[in-house]
Structure 1
Amino acid sequence: MKVTLSKIYLDNIMQNRKIMRKTDESVGITVVMAIYNPNLVWFNELLKSLAKQDFINIEWLIMDDASDEILFMEVTRLVKYYASSLSKNISYKILRNKENIGSNETYRKLMSLANGKYIAFCDQDDVWKHNKLSCLYYEIVKQNAVLAYADMTVINSEGKQISESFQKKNSIFGNISGKYETGELLIRNPIPGCSVLIKKDIIEFFNEIPNGTYWDHWLNIIASTQGDIIYIPQKLMKYRIHGTNQTGRFYNIKTKNDYYENRLKPLYRRMIELQNKEIHFQQEETIYAYIQARTDKKVGQIWKNRSCNILISYLEILLNILPNFVCNIIIKIIKKW
Structure 2
Amino acid sequence: MNKLVSIITPNYNSEKFISQTINSVLNQTYKNWEMIIVDDVSNDDSVEIIESYILKNNRIKLFKLSKNSGAAIARNKAISLAKGNFIAFLDSDDLWLPKKLEQQLKFMISNNYNISYTSYEIINENGISKNKIIHCKEKLDYKRMLYSNEIGCLTAMYNSDVLGKVFMPEIRKRQDYGLWLKLLKTESYAFGLPKVLAKYRDQSQSMSNNKVEMLKWNWNLYKNVEKKSYFRSFYYTLFNVINKLLK
TM class, shorter-length: 0.7 to 0.9
In structure 2, how many angstroms separate the alpha carbons of the residues matched to 1:135 and 1:251? Answer: 37
Is the CA contact 2:72–2:170 (under 8 Å) kept in the aligned structure 1? Answer: no
In structure 2, how many angstroms separate the alpha carbons of the residues matched to 1:249 and 1:232? Answer: 29
Equivalent in the alignment of 1:264: 219
2:30 counterpart SS class:
coil
Equivalent in the alignment of 1:138: 106
- 1:157 alignment partner AA: E
Deviation, 1:64, is 0.7
Larger radius of gyration: 1
Equivalent in the alignment of 1:175: 137
Aligned CA distance change for structure 1 residues 240 and 114 (closer, same or farther; 3 Å): same
Equivalent in the alignment of 1:236: 197
Aligned CA distance change for structure 1 residues 251 and 134 (closer, same or farther; 3 Å): farther
Equivalent in the alignment of 1:103: 71
- 1:29 alignment partner AA: V
Aligned CA distance change for structure 1 residues 265 and 66 (closer, same or farther; 3 Å): closer
In structure 2, how many angstroms separate the alpha carbons of the residues matched to 1:200 and 1:177? Answer: 19
Matched positions, count: 245
In structure 2, how many angstroms separate the alpha carbons of the residues matched to 1:133 and 1:56? Answer: 9
Over the matched positions of the two proteins, sequence identity in percent amounts to 20
Equivalent in the alignment of 1:72: 47
Question: Greater RCO between the two (CA within 8 Å, min separation 6)?
Answer: 2
Is the CA contact 1:47–1:79 (under 8 Å) kept in the aligned structure 2? Answer: no
Higher strand share: 2
- Please report the TM-score for the alignment, with normalisation by the length of structure 2: 0.84
Aligned CA distance change for structure 1 residues 211 and 65 (closer, same or farther; 3 Å): closer
- Is 1:57–2:32 an aligned residue pair? yes
Equivalent in the alignment of 1:217: 177
In structure 2, how many angstroms separate the alpha carbons of the residues matched to 1:249 and 1:234? Answer: 28
In structure 1, how many angstroms separate the alpha carbons of the residues matched to 2:172 and 2:225? Answer: 9
Equivalent in the alignment of 2:10: 34
Matches within 5 A, 1:182-193: 182-193=142-153
- Is 1:161–2:129 an aligned residue pair? yes
Is the CA contact 1:210–1:270 (under 8 Å) kept in the aligned structure 2? Answer: no
In structure 1, how many angstroms separate the alpha carbons of the residues matched to 2:8 and 2:241? Answer: 38
- Please report the TM-score for the alignment, with normalisation by the length of structure 1: 0.63
Aligned CA distance change for structure 1 residues 43 and 265 (closer, same or farther; 3 Å): closer
Structure 2 spans left out of the alignment, 5+ residues: none
Which among 293, 310, 321 is matched to residue 231 of structure 2?
A: 293
Aligned CA distance change for structure 1 residues 124 and 37 (closer, same or farther; 3 Å): same
Aligned CA distance change for structure 1 residues 241 and 259 (closer, same or farther; 3 Å): closer
Aligned CA distance change for structure 1 residues 250 and 220 (closer, same or farther; 3 Å): farther
In structure 2, how many angstroms separate the alpha carbons of the residues matched to 1:253 and 1:188? Answer: 14
In structure 1, how many angstroms separate the alpha carbons of the residues matched to 2:218 and 2:67? Answer: 28
Which among 92, 95, 108 is matched to residue 60 of structure 2?
A: 92
- Is 1:149–2:117 an aligned residue pair? yes
Aligned CA distance change for structure 1 residues 205 and 122 (closer, same or farther; 3 Å): closer
- 2:13 alignment partner AA: N
- 2:152 alignment partner AA: P
Cα-to-partner distance string for 1:213-249 (whole Å, 9 max, x where unaligned): 52211211122122431101110011111247xxx98
- 2:143 alignment partner AA: G
- 2:105 alignment partner AA: Y
Higher helix share: 1
